[in-house]
Chain A
Amino acid sequence: MNTGLAFDLLLAAALLWSAWRALATPDIFRAVILFIVFGLLMTLAWARLDAPDIALAEAAIGAGLTGALLLDAIGVLRGRRQEKP
């Protein structure tokens, strides 16, 4: 087994682990952080799949914008200046 394949398997396992934790962890804030981690791991996966275009889009849109939207929805982006209703 070469190092490339070992890295792929490790990355795939990390993807599945972060996805699983994002669904199962009881705290919603941690879930969103894990989801952003998942997005960054996806970026690596796309790079491994010779898809740099997708890697760029995933980092900016998948992890970045979607993560920001989710964080904003649970209020942590503005949490310091706003009480949750």
Chain B
Amino acid sequence: MTTGLVFAVAGAILFSMGVAGVILLAHLLRRILAFNLMGSGAFLVLVGLAQRAGIADPVPQAMVLTGIVVAVAATALALALARRLHALTGAYTLPEARDD
């Protein structure tokens, strides 16, 4: 087992935890947190799996740098929405949807 594979495996588990968290958790901040775990998991798989032979690969590393910036952009956007909802309703949870 190489360093790359160890962290790819950890990434796969992190991703699954993150998805389950986004689906199951009610508190919006915690769902945002879960989304970040999901992203980190995917990043670890991307770099770890590519480097499973133990040789550094700059291509997925550059992709992850791009991905980290996209993730922080999405996180800030989500937090802006969550804070706005909190300011309007006083809660950090989503109200029931009205879809009729």
Would you call B30 and A85 a contact (CB within 8 A)? Answer: no
With A48-B7, A69-B79, A73-B83: A19-B51 Cβ-Cβ less than 8 Å:
no
**How far in angstroms is the closest Cβ of chain B from A22?**
6
Give the residues in chain B near A77, CB-CB below 8 Å: none
Give the residues in chain A near B29, CB-CB below 8 Å: 28, 31-32, 70, 73-74
Main secondary structure of the interface of B (DSSP, over half): helix
Chain B interface residue count: which class? 35 or more
Chain A residue with Cβ nearest B47: A49
Residues of B within 8 A of A (CB): 1, 3-4, 6-7, 9-10, 13-14, 17-18, 21, 25, 27, 29-30, 32-34, 36-37, 40, 43-44, 47-48, 51, 56, 61-62, 64-65, 68-69, 71-72, 75-76, 79, 82-83, 87, 90
> Apart from A15-B10, A73-B83, what 15 extra A-B contacts exist at CB < 8 Å?
A12-B6, A16-B13, A19-B17, A19-B18, A22-B37, A28-B30, A49-B4, A51-B56, A51-B64, A54-B47, A54-B64, A57-B65, A61-B72, A66-B75, A70-B79
